[in-house]
Structure 1
């Protein structure tokens, strides 16, 4: 299960990174326009080209569309790349150590015994740890996701 879960996560992160890179990691802006005689229309544009529309939400209630369009613009390709980098860093910190389980979650090593005899105890952490399992739940609608990975 360990290798499968890590491979699954890395594949999803690679997919997300490729999608964001295809859009050059651009940043998006949003606006809502309301002509005096018609319904409001929401627009998402690349920050570098504010007149080139990426998406247009159909006319309607300005307040209703402003929340939606702000949300879509907030998750632009630049943020997608930052998100992939952060998730990869978390996955690297929570890597599997064969003897200890999760490298980040293990409590470390402590010694017990007397001066003539010392034993080392490793406080193992489960693997995959809850953090790695939580990272995978974002993709629980993917056909390769396994319910056994759920925290």
Structure 2
């Protein structure tokens, strides 16, 4: 289970870092404007302001996936997995279920069935 989750977290982290420009694209500002319902992002030679409007939930959903937020979420998930083990190497009470619940977010991944069967 931990290997499956670690691989998914690594994939999410890599995409977020690339979106931020950590791989040669330069720092990418990314911000969501709650008041005007738009978001800004850019690359060294390009900058985009996308007015998505307050009434388009699909675009608002995409805009809220700031790569920095994704990185914070990945870090938090890694800490949950790490905290699930007690000092004596046993699963801490209740956190084993939390790990399975984290994995359900990746139910459409091709490797998910293999962890369900284990």
Query: Is this a same-fold pair by TM over 0.5?
Result: yes
Q: In 2, distance between residues paired with 1:100 and 1:29?
A: 41
Shift of 1:47: 7.6
Give the C-alpha shift of residue 72 in structure 1.
1.8
Q: More helix by proportion, 1 or 2? A: 2
Gaps of at least 5 residues in structure 1 are 32-41, 106-124
Give the SS at the match of 1:44: strand
Q: CA deviation at 1:86?
A: 0.2
Map Cα deviations across residues 60-115 of structure 1 (whole Å, 9 max, x no partner). Answer: xx4422x4333222211010000000000000001377x7630x21xxxxxxxxxx
The equivalent of 2:79 in structure 1 is: 89
Matched, 1:144 2:73: no
Alpha-carbon distance, 1:55 to partner: 5.9
Could you tell me how far 1:54 is from its partner in structure 2? 7.2
When normalised by structure 1's length, the TM-score is 0.56
**By how many angstroms is 1:30 displaced?**
4.2
The answer as to 2:44 corresponding to 1:53 is no
Higher strand proportion: 1
In structure 2, the gaps of 5 or more residues are 22-27
Match among 51, 64, 69 for residue 55 of structure 2: 64
Query: In the alignment, is the contact (CA less than 8 A) between 1:44 and 1:56 conserved in 2?
Result: yes
1:28/1:74 contact within 8 Å kept: no
Flag the 1:27–1:86 CA change in 2: closer, same or farther, 3 A.
Answer: farther
Instruction: Indicate if the aligned counterparts of 1:27 and 1:77 stay in contact, CA closer than 8 A.
Output: no
Describe the SS at the equivalent of 2:48: strand
- Residue pair 1:20, 1:80 contacting (<8 A) in 2 also: yes
Partner-residue secondary structure (3-state), 1:95: coil
Change over 3 Å in CA distance of 1:27–1:95 after alignment to 2: farther
The one of 17, 34, 44 equivalent to 2:13 is 17
The structure with the larger Rg is 1
